[in-house]
Amino acid sequence: MLVPLTLVAITVLILIDSWPALTTFGLSYFTTTEWDPVKLVFGAAAYVYGTLVTTVIAVLLATPVAVGAAIYLTEFAPRPVRAPVAYTIELLAYIPSIVYGLWAIFVMVPVMRSVVEPGLQGTLGQLPVIGKLFSGTPIGLDLLSGGVVLAIMILPILMAVSREVLLAVPPTQREAMIGLGATRWEAVSRAVLPYARPGIIGGAVLGVARAFGETMAVTMVVGNSSRDITGSLFVPGYTMASAIANQFVEADSELYFSAIVEIALVLLFVAVLVNAVARALIRRSIADRPAGAVV
């Protein structure tokens, strides 16, 4: 009883505090990028954009790695290594995000700037259309770096969920496929993975939720600049959570403060929505299927 009440209380508080911004800016809050604490004009489009872009990069990079690791650990790895390796990957989830941030700023950013980003510019950057993503001077503190840090941070939860879902696939699924003469890989790709797909998607959605709210590590590498949206990944960006963390303390006028609380409102709304979707997908995968069903 207490928990839902807390959620309601938080929502009400945030609504009250964000009311001045909600009524002053209305929809333009989501469609404009001008965020000017001096002139008191606030549009959060650049923050929303930065959050979406870093999250998409993170999920695109982390999902194949996480699912691959989960498949290896449940289907192919020698039994004695399965638990220790899985445990080690899950351990990544317990590293404080500030530590990821420090590592990123001292180790990852220099590599991104001097190796990865020039490399991308020299290859994919030469292609039409896609090339636009990689235009500009590589500075390492940009949307791409933010996305890569997030990818590393959501990897453990994605891997853990995928592994649980794969373990929950009834052995009869594999046995039936192998009994039909399939190789192990065919059994995995044709019987196990389709069965587990909703759960894996659920894990990815949970990763999205984590990426949305992640603050410290991203703030340290994303560049924190809400310039116009250019379409390139090599420009400094800003995420919603970073904007709150950076500006909350010094928000010295009512409207400014309220505009920042409105970011929190959007984040809360998205987090609840994403979690609900993820839960529904995972439940469908694990519980609702009768044992032994063949897809």
Q: Which of residues 220, 240, 244, 270 is near other proteins by CB under 8 A?
A: 220
DSSP per-residue string spanning 52-98: HHHHHHHHHHHHHHHHHHHHIIIIIS-HHHHHHHHHHHHHGGGS-HH
| Angle 15-19-23 from CA coordinates, rounded to 5° | 140
Q: How far is the CB of 278 from other proteins (least distance, A)?
A: 27
Half-sphere exposure for 24 (CA within 13 Å, toward CB): 16
Cβ-based nearer residue to other proteins, 66 or 109: 109
Does 14 bind other proteins (CB under 8 A)? Our answer is yes
Question: Kindly report the CA angle at 63 between 75 and 137, in degrees rounded to 5?
Answer: 145
Q: Which is nearer to other proteins, 11 or 189 (CB)?
A: 11
Stretch that binds other proteins, among 35-43, 65-73, 205-213, 267-275 (CB under 8 A): 35-43
How many residues touch other proteins (CB under 8 A)?
40
For residues 132 and 125, give the distance between their C-alpha atoms in angstroms, rounded to a whole number. Answer: 7
Ramachandran region, residue 149 (left: φ > 0; alpha: ψ -120 to 50; beta: rest): alpha
Instruction: Decide: is 247 part of the binding site for other proteins (CB under 8 A).
Output: yes
**Out of 105, 116, 268, 286, which residue is the one contacting other proteins (CB under 8 A)?**
105
227 near other proteins, judged by CB under 8 A: yes
- Sequence-distant (6+) residues with CB within 8 A of 7 are 272
How far is the C-alpha of 7 from the C-alpha of 34, rounded, in Å? 31
Q: For other proteins, which is the closer residue by CB, 32 or 172?
A: 32
**Shortest reach from residue 151's CB to other proteins, in Å:** 21
Q: By CB under 8 A, is residue 13 in contact with other proteins? A: yes
Q: Which of 115, 185, 253, 272 binds other proteins (CB under 8 A)?
A: 253
Select the residue interacting with other proteins from 88, 137, 269, 294 (CB under 8 A): 137
Q: Which of 45, 46, 38, 35 is nearest to 252 (CA)?
A: 38
The contact mask relative to other proteins for 169-188 (x = CB under 8 A, - = no) is --------------------
CA distances from 21 to 47, 86, 208 (A): 16, 46, 27
**What is the nearest approach in angstroms of other proteins to the Cβ of residue 160?**
30
Angle subtended at Cα 211 by Cα 278 and Cα 255, rounded to the nearest 5 degrees: 110
Task: Identify residues 73-92 at the interface with other proteins (CB under 8 A).
Answer: none
Residue ranges that bind other proteins, judged by CB under 8 A: 13-14, 16-17, 34-39, 105, 109-110, 113, 137, 139-141, 219-220, 223-227, 236, 238, 242, 245-247, 249-254, 257-258, 261
